[in-house]
Chain A
Amino acid sequence: MNDAHPFARYRSIIPRWDDFQRALDRPLPTCVWANPLKITPPELEAHLREQGITFEPVGWRPGAYRLQGVARPGSRLAYLAGLYEIQEEVSLLPVELLDLSAGQRILDLCAAPGSKTAQIATTVGPRATIVANDRNFRRMRPLGRSLDRLGITNTTMMTADGTNLPGDIGKFDRILVDVPCSCEGTSRKNPDATAATEDDFARLCSVQRALLKRALELCRVGGRVVYSTCTYAPEENEAIVDSILQEFGSRYHLVPARLPGFAASSGLVTWRGEHFDPQLKDALRVYPHQHDTGGFFVAALQKSSD
């Protein structure tokens, strides 16, 4: 055990620290999901077998698979024909927690490069409307290509500052706020990802809070906003949600971010002497050794009044 470990500041909150460290040294499995607009999960399984691709179903998410020994999953026939989409397993979580159903109007506030938008659009069915927004036009290009390849017709793309979207955009039943963050949880695929610094917090936290605040304003009463990051830092996770609850707590409450078959860790209610709203235990923290994934944080908020 080594306290010079880049993520040593989280040692007190990460269960089974040794397992965590070991997981970070392993390569990340490739995960894909069957595109319901073109193929059913059993058909995709049959196709993968025919093509000699070995896979293992992701138990908690029907239609998702870990591929084994496929060097370039983005060059395989199933990808070119839009039968599957490649998406890291843990990043499937926030959309699964959006509680999607037919006919909803959904906003993906920070959408680029767009794998979660594609997941929303193919899950919710054609009679829904999805608005995918990101501030960065260049980063949105891959989303356009994904929509074309997957055959997604229910999605509209735009590039605007999500903290400042006009009221004329209309209200939404569901909003995903997958904010820019320090990306600590991506270190298995991106070795440069290291522990966040005070500079990162200074740069990111006010934007994260402003994005979540605007999302909550644009949500219909009774609707749901899911806030997510791929970082461990409580400053970017619980502290952001807590500050919103402190200011507007009577209008929003957390719903448990839990999925059957996916056991991970509860959100924190204290960090370095700071106390958060007790509801934050209903947020979800995922560490790489728990499901052989990257690290992630998700909180789901319900709006009870304007």
Chain B
Amino acid sequence: MDIIPVTADDLDLSLHSDLLETQNLTLVASDPLLAHVNARFGFPAGLFDELVFLQCSHKIIRAASRPLQLPLAPQIDRTGIDFLRIDMANPRMTTSAMMTWGRHATSNAVDTNQEQCLDYLRRLPIDLTPDQLRRCTGRGFVIVRHLGYPLGVGFLESTRHSDQNCGHLRSMYPSAFAADLEQTTPFGNPS
């Protein structure tokens, strides 16, 4: 994963010279950071131009809006939203990033039917239909949507028809959110 630190001047941001250090933030270049994400999901050019990317820990890159007029003090708890998890073999867009930009994805986005959507939200695996599978380019993370609205991340095991687990999608819907749905369904009818 290519995480290249940059300065505020590189990004045309007017920030107090001590600010990033005081707030424990590192600005990160969007190129090549986004290359993999753009390639996999086919996002339109310029989608992320109004954002700056900040590394705040060894785990997470956050995305925040320009012009980023942060306070010099006191210490902030967070800015923007979690964008990329970088503490894993394959860095992946977070649930919040998928939910925010996933509607613009043109590949590796799965539009679920109601039954699949329910299973996904309950963290159960789902099997994709041949039509859904055709929109995916290969094993890896996918955006899960319903009625066009992105809900989160899934992991597609394989798109090779010779594989036993071809079209098998693992739900990565956050367990805390799934727990909220234990007694009910998002479609109003009893579970």
* A and B interact physically: yes
Residues of A within 8 A of B (CB): 37-38, 47, 50-53, 70-72, 74-77, 79-83, 105, 126-129, 131, 137, 140, 144, 147-149, 151-160, 165-166, 168-170
Q: Output the nearest chain B residue to A152 by Cβ-Cβ distance.
A: B81
Which of B64, B72, B78 interacts with A170 by CB under 8 Å?
A: B72
Q: Is B77 an interface residue (CB 8 A)?
A: yes
B117 to chain A, nearest CB (A): 8
Residues of B within 8 A of A (CB): 50-51, 63-82, 94-96, 99-101, 103, 117, 121, 146-147, 149-151, 177, 180-181, 184-188
Decide: A80 near B76, CB < 8 A? Known: A74-B180, A131-B71: no
B76–A157 contact, CB under 8 A? Answer: yes
Which of A38, A47, A82 interacts with B147 by CB under 8 Å?
A: A47
Q: List 13 A-B contacts (CB under 8 A).
A: A80-B151, A81-B151, A127-B50, A127-B67, A149-B99, A151-B96, A153-B65, A153-B81, A155-B79, A157-B79, A158-B76, A169-B72, A170-B72
Decide: A148 near B68, CB < 8 A? Known: A47-B147, A53-B188: no
B121–A147 contact, CB under 8 A? Answer: no
A140–B77 contact, CB under 8 A? Answer: yes
Decide: A77 near B186, CB < 8 A? Known: A148-B82, A154-B64, A154-B65: yes
A169 to B101 CA separation, bound complex (whole angstroms): 31
**Residues of B contacting A153 in the complex (Cβ-Cβ under 8 angstroms):** 51, 63-65, 80-81, 100
**Most A Cβ at <10 Å: residue of B75, B79, B103:** B79
**Residues of B contacting A127 in the complex (Cβ-Cβ under 8 angstroms):** 50, 65-67
B73–A166 contact, CB under 8 A? Answer: yes
B69–A105 contact, CB under 8 A? Answer: yes
B151 to chain A, nearest CB (A): 6
**Residues of A contacting B151 in the complex (Cβ-Cβ under 8 angstroms):** 80-81
